[in-house]
């Protein structure tokens, strides 16, 4: 018998790890890295070394194919975001060839998505802050709030068709093994396919066949560019979910039209540019995982070409089920690979319980729009792949490390310090590890956070960390343990301002309320409309409470990235009455006395939740730090922040010892 390595995952997920042929390539498993295009691109539209390292790590993690997203074929008209790979930019090839080689060398195939933003080339798109091209060309003339759209002349259509051919050939020449034509998410082909946006009277408008003509011509041109058998994937919508787009029936018809021209379908949905459906295209935590798989399953019934599904898939068991049941032939995963690029490898090796789950918090999108880099809340090395290649300084000696506080920062520091060979004691004053992850994960739509907490707890255990519960780190305790280094990770305290009536029995702090919603009456007034207060309203309303949010500022959930906020606001507005620009004057037995525009009124409530923020306990931190020579302050007690700050500060501080 051949010498073969036995992988537990193949037994557990036999269909997921079954090879499949797509065109002239043989995929080693059914997991493809979905197209992603964070902004690590030069101003000329070339890959940066950071981007290459980002793509390479996905290949190392075990996907069969790594897909780079949105390479623009015609940058004079089609650049939809500030920084994108431009296939027609002089000098673009070197980085592309290097990326393809890095992906190959790490054991995966390299795929690249060919795209054109259509009218968004000349209009500012979501996450972009300027119009990238001089003129916005769409299928038809249109006046939009962002500017005027010109009908795309026929000569330009033909030029763009040609640019797909040239672009596809260039990708092949640079070593890519596959191309994906992007025909979804609101970009050029969604616009031409739309019966509303496309009102042309020539051969590119009118019937669905005519509206699909441009796409079909492009697929033929791409085939000409890459030659026979070279795999062409198409990203198609299963349902645009908007009143300007196609529904499932029409999407099936389009799929049938292109069935002979492609080697793989990837069925997505929604529209990148419509905030109401962005959270379905990139499903939010308000939807069950795999919410869009049914669309791939429907399309699959009507085509002969293999079909991939996509959308918030994170669990190999669910992926296995999808393939075993014939809902799709392949799963594509986007954010799950940012949260944990090693997901496929961990599944294959039987370590699925160590997969870091994506929290669907959209910080990755937020960061790429904000700073032209990428980061992930739960993965401190995301976006740091290049820096991570430098060898780390090995510890001079094994140290005794005491970590005060078993929240996310404390746990992450313990895991990292133990991995560096230190003796680690993790002391937590409560009866369990997790800290504020428990209240944060209490709402019904935040289960991902509890899963993440459990992954960390599991890692702490496996790392051989000595966990001491029900133990507050005090001066005496530090003297007793006598550590070489101390990590202060004591978290933050909820703000309880001296508002008149704050000590009334129906006032409850937000953390307590999240953990014990049974303590709340029927009518709940939430003081503070930040992220905590807003999410609490959705959560309590789900428990049957009537909620009111009282916020002093003009907007609620202001601090959260706009991508998450879009999905959240839909839920908050359904769940609560919202009073902005409203001051709490006093808490009274029948509710909260408020003032807005000089007018006083009472918001009736049985329970008043105090969600007015958190403060780091600086005095306590200073006192602990004064007792040792080597200390590190991490997480909320350094600066009150989000889970990202806790994990990131802990991971990198622990690398220093």
Ligand X SMILES: Cc1cc2nc3c(=O)[nH]c(=O)nc-3n(C[C@H](O)[C@H](O)[C@H](O)COP(=O)(O)O)c2cc1C
Q: Which stretch binds ligand SF4 (CB under 6 A): 25-33, 358-366, 398-406, 531-539?
A: 358-366
Give the 3-state secondary structure of 556-614.
Answer: CCCCCCHHHHHHHHHHHHHHEEEECCCEEEEEECCEEEEEECCEEEEEECCEEEECCCE
**In angstroms, what is the minimal distance from the CB of 377 to ligand SF4?**
4
**In angstroms, what is the minimal distance from the CB of 248 to ligand X?**
18
Closer of 98 and 384 to ligand SF4 (Cβ): 384
Q: Could you tell me which of 349, 237, 345 has the C-alpha nearest to residue 295?
A: 237
**In angstroms, what is the minimal distance from the CB of 344 to ligand X?**
13
Of residues 109, 176, 278, 362, which one binds ligand SF4 by CB under 6 A? Answer: 362
Closer of 82 and 607 to ligand X (Cβ): 82
Closer of 404 and 560 to ligand SF4 (Cβ): 560
C-alpha–C-alpha distance, residues 51 and 48, integer Å: 5
359 interface partner picked from ligand X, ligand SF4, none, CB below 5 to 8 A per type = ligand SF4
- Using rule CB under 6 A, residue 338 touches ligand SF4: yes
Within 8 A by CB and 6+ apart from 188, the residues are: 78, 115, 116, 117, 118, 160, 214
**In angstroms, what is the minimal distance from the CB of 173 to ligand X?**
21
State the greatest distance between any 2 C-alpha atoms of the chain, in Å, as a whole number: 85
**In angstroms, what is the minimal distance from the CB of 491 to ligand SF4?**
21
Closer of 343 and 624 to ligand SF4 (Cβ): 343
C-alpha–C-alpha distance, residues 2 and 5, integer Å: 10
Give me the 376-415 binding string for ligand SF4, x by CB under 6 A, dash otherwise: xxx-------------------------------------
Q: Which residues bind ligand X (CB under 6 A)?
A: 34-38, 69-70, 113, 182, 185, 235, 268, 282-283, 310-313, 333-336, 364-365, 368
Of residues 83, 182, 223, 335, which one binds ligand SF4 by CB under 6 A? Answer: 335
* N-to-C CA span, the chain: 48
How many chain residues are in contact with ligand SF4, going by CB under 6 A? 13
Q: Which stretch binds ligand SF4 (CB under 6 A): 5-13, 142-150, 370-378, 589-597?
A: 370-378
Closer of 47 and 365 to ligand X (Cβ): 365
- Using rule CB under 6 A, residue 359 touches ligand SF4: yes
196, two tokens: 């509303």
Helix (H, G, I), strand (E, B) or coil at 386: coil
Q: Which stretch binds ligand SF4 (CB under 6 A): 110-118, 158-166, 354-362, 619-627?
A: 354-362
- Using rule CB under 6 A, residue 58 touches ligand SF4: no
113 interface partner picked from ligand SF4, ligand X, none, CB below 5 to 8 A per type = ligand X
493, two tokens: 């305290």
Burial class (CB in 10 A: 0-12, 13-18, 19+), 629: exposed
- Is 382:364 a contact under the CB 8 Å cutoff? yes
**In angstroms, what is the minimal distance from the CB of 481 to ligand X?**
42
Closer of 193 and 460 to ligand X (Cβ): 193
**In angstroms, what is the minimal distance from the CB of 113 to ligand X?**
6
The percent helix, strand, coil of the chain (3-state, each to 5) is: 35, 20, 45
Within 8 A by CB and 6+ apart from 321, the residues are: none
Q: Strand order in 591-596's β-sheet?
A: 583-588, 591-596, 599-604
**In angstroms, what is the minimal distance from the CB of 184 to ligand X?**
7
C-alpha–C-alpha distance, residues 395 and 348, integer Å: 32
**In angstroms, what is the minimal distance from the CB of 359 to ligand SF4?**
4
Distances in Å between the alpha carbon of 12 and those of 6, 163, 225, 348, 436? 12, 45, 41, 9, 34
301, two tokens: 């019934």
268 interface partner picked from ligand SF4, ligand X, none, CB below 5 to 8 A per type = ligand X
CA triple 616-619-624, angle to 5 deg: 100
- Using rule CB under 6 A, residue 531 touches ligand SF4: no
Q: Which stretch binds ligand SF4 (CB under 6 A): 271-279, 359-367, 528-536, 593-601?
A: 359-367
Distances in Å between the alpha carbon of 370 and those of 82, 107, 389, 435? 11, 32, 25, 29
377 interface partner picked from ligand SF4, ligand X, none, CB below 5 to 8 A per type = ligand SF4
**In angstroms, what is the minimal distance from the CB of 37 to ligand SF4?**
14
Closer of 39 and 163 to ligand SF4 (Cβ): 39
C-alpha–C-alpha distance, residues 574 and 398, integer Å: 55
- Using rule CB under 6 A, residue 177 touches ligand SF4: no
Closer of 336 and 355 to ligand X (Cβ): 336
Distances in Å between the alpha carbon of 444 and those of 539, 567, 571, 588? 7, 15, 12, 30
Closer of 71 and 418 to ligand X (Cβ): 71
C-alpha–C-alpha distance, residues 62 and 476, integer Å: 48
Of residues 200, 235, 360, 638, which one binds ligand SF4 by CB under 6 A? Answer: 360
Dihedral sign from CA coordinates of 540, 545, 546, 551? negative
Closer of 283 and 306 to ligand X (Cβ): 283
Contacts with ligand SF4 by CB under 6 A lie at 335, 338-339, 358-364, 376-378
């Amino acid at each position: 018998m051949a010498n073969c390595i036995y992988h537990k995952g193949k037994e557990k997920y036999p269909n997921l790890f079954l090879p499949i042929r797509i065109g002239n390539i043989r995929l080693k498993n059914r997991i493809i890295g979905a197209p992603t295009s964070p902004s690590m691109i030069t101003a000329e539209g070339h890959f940066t070394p950071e981007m290459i390292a980002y793509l390479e790590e996905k290949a190392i993690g075990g996907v069969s194919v790594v897909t780079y997203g949105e390479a623009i074929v015609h940058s004079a008209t089609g650049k939809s975001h500030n920084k994108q790979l431009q296939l027609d930019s002089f000098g673009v090839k070197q980085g592309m060839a290097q990326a393809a080689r890095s992906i190959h060398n790490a054991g995966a195939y390299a795929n690249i998505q060919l795209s054109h933003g259509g009218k968004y080339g000349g209009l500012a798109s979501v996450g972009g802050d300027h119009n990238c091209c001089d003129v916005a060309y769409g299928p038809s003339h249109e006046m939009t709030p962002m500017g005027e759209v010109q009908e795309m002349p026929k000569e330009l259509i033909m030029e763009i068709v040609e640019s797909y051919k040239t672009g596809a050939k260039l990708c092949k020449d640079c070593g890519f093994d596959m191309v994906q034509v992007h025909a979804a998410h609101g970009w050029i082909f969604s616009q031409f396919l739309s019966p509303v946006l496309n009102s042309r009277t020539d051969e590119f408008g009118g019937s669905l066949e005519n509206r699909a003509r441009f796409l079909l011509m492009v697929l033929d041109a791409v085939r000409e560019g890459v030659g026979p058998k070279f795999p062409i994937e198409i990203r198609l919508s299963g349902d645009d979910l908007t009143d300007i787009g196609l529904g499932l029936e029409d999407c099936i018809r389009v799929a049938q039209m292109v069935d002979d021209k492609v080697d793989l379908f990837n069925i997505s949905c929604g529209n990148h540019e419509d905030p109401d459906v962005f959270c379905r295209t990139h499903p939010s935590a308000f939807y069950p995982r795999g919410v869009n798989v049914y669309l791939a399953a429907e399309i699959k019934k009507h085509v002969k070409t293999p079909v991939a599904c996509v959308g918030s898939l994170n669990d190999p068991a669910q992926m296995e089920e999808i393939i075993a049941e014939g809902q799709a032939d392949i799963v594509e995963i986007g954010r799950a690979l940012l949260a944990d690029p090693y997901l496929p490898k961990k599944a294959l090796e039987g370590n699925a319980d160590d997969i870091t789950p994506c929290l669907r918090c959209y910080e990755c999108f937020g960061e790429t729009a904000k700073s032209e880099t990428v980061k992930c809340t739960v993965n401190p090395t995301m976006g740091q792949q290049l820096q991570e290649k430098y060898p780390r300084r090995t510890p001079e000696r094994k140290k005794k490390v005491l970590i005060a506080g078993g929240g996310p920062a404390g746990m992450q520091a313990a895991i990292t310090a133990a991995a560096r060979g230190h003796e680690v004691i993790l002391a937590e004053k409560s009866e369990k590890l997790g800290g504020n992850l428990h209240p944060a994960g209490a709402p019904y739509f935040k289960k991902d956070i509890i899963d993440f907490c459990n992954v960390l707890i599991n890692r702490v255990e496996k790392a051989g960390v000595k966990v001491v519960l029900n133990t507050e780190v005090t001066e005496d305790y530090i003297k007793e343990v006598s550590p070489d280094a101390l990590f202060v990770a004591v978290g933050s305290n909820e703000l309880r301002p001296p508002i008149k009536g704050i000590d009334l029995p129906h006032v409850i702090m937000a953390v307590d309320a999240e953990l014990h919603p049974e303590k709340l009456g029927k009518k709940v007034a939430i003081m503070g409309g930040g992220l905590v207060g807003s999410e609490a309203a959705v959560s309590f309303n789900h428990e049957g409470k009537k909620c009111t949010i009282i916020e002093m500022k003009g907007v609620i959930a202001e601090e959260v990235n706009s991508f998450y906020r879009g999905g959240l606001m839909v839920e908050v507005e359904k769940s609560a009455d919202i009073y902005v620009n409203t001051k709490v004057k006093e808490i009274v037995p029948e509710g909260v006395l408020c003032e807005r525009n000089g007018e006083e009124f009472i918001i009736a409530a049985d329970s008043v939740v105090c969600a007015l923020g958190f403060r780091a306990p600086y005095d306590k931190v200073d006192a602990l730090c004064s007792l040792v020579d080597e200390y590190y302050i991490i997480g909320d007690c350094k600066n009150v922040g989000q889970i990202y700050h806790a994990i990131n500060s802990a991971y990198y501080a622990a690398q220093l010892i």
